Structure 1
């Protein structure tokens, strides 16, 4: 069941609304639109583009304005992840019923993340990029859906860990952590479905292969998945992230 987070309870000192103002969003509008509905979390997704590899998020000077950049980075990634699952669900050609269920559930989660970020950022929200339909068709084919989902979910978990320390606003950190654990569950789930839980499975394929995960920077995340070609590079508004 979806949960509702009360922004006023999370944002006792007004940091979230000040961050919104720094991005040109009226405080009252942000409070009304950004009730933090849906899954109750900030989604830091997984897709990227080579043209965005000149990372603009500051890792040394946390600020409320930088927080807004991080949220728009998150929204850009969530748009693409949600689009991947939406396309797969509409095509409905999965190798197994279990993968079909995975895609339906995870697709709903990612769509909830998109709605949350759009409402919270209001007019400052980045626009959804255009998809390369040929590349998407290849990614959602029965033989490639599972491995593609695994790569995206693993990268998403690392992206959460990479951007969490750069957030200044406490409420954003709390929200990011709550979605980070959900993305980790996605990654473990798809690994199980791909055979990672079977006796004798390679360590790297197991649902929880390591004691510690390494975070990935914005630039690394974008390089890892930039080669997918799933979106049209020119459709990304690089001024907001």
Structure 2
């Protein structure tokens, strides 16, 4: 029998460990990140979509939206494993799930009152019983996440934010390499993601949200970065 879960908050047995410890952030760092969290003007609804806002808070909300999406996906994957999943694959995907939930919760706490709302996902295009469908979607989400951080990093003004983003994208890149290798052994640094200079490819906010919104019922916009669904 399939397990019913809340795709946003996770299952009842989800370990609620300290996300600050796993993000490598101190209480002082959280204070830096939350310094502007009392501002409400960053959470804007545009034509039924949720806008990320502007400035550093806008970029943090952008990352928070993507982490919500990834966390919801892996919560579903682990709660309802695909046919023929191995013990090793279960362990890998469970670890990734835990990382994504911690990332999601970290951003929610750090952004505080300026955080966008919880998003409603739409995974109707994914067959969660089929390994190729699940891992293909995982690769798309992980590759998108890495290119998103790499593409938006230059917009971050505060060094504290940039440090946290760098720590999180490093973990996302590990996820992406692992998932790629599960699909095709030896493809952990394939040319679809790493260019001829040995650099990971990057994507703009508009490009990333155009793809991410395909998995969201609650659409996300970034009007200050030239994107509106």
Structure 2 length-normalised TM = 0.71
More helix by share: 1
Tell me if 1:197 matches 2:182: no
1:130-149 deviations in Å (ceiling 9; x for gaps):
2235335x256323111111
Equivalence for 2:199: 212
Aligned mate of 1:20, from 37, 44, 48: 37
Deviation at 1:153, TM superposition (A): 0.9
Equivalence for 1:120: 110
CA contact (8 A) 2:52 2:61 kept: no
CA contact (8 A) 1:84 1:140 kept: no
Unaligned runs of 5+ in 2: 1-20, 43-47, 225-229
CA contact (8 A) 1:130 1:231 kept: yes
Residues 143/191 of structure 1: CA separation in 2 closer, same or farther (3 Å cut) = closer
Q: Which has the higher contact order (CA 8 A, sep 6+)?
A: 1
Moved more, 217-226 or 186-195: 217-226
Equivalence for 2:8: none
Equivalence for 1:29: none
Residues 23/202 of structure 1: CA separation in 2 closer, same or farther (3 Å cut) = closer
SS in 2 for 1:20: coil
Tell me if 1:102 matches 2:92: yes
CA contact (8 A) 1:196 1:202 kept: no
Equivalence for 2:5: none
Deviation at 1:108, TM superposition (A): 0.5
CA contact (8 A) 1:106 1:186 kept: yes
CA contact (8 A) 1:129 1:231 kept: yes
1:159-207 deviations in Å (ceiling 9; x for gaps):
1111111011110000000111111111111122112318xx99547x9
CA contact (8 A) 2:71 2:101 kept: yes
1:213-233 deviations in Å (ceiling 9; x for gaps):
22111001122344xx3221x
Unaligned runs of 5+ in 1: 26-50, 58-64
CA contact (8 A) 2:148 2:202 kept: yes
Task: Give the CA RMSD over aligned residues.
Answer: 3.4
Structure 1 length-normalised TM = 0.68
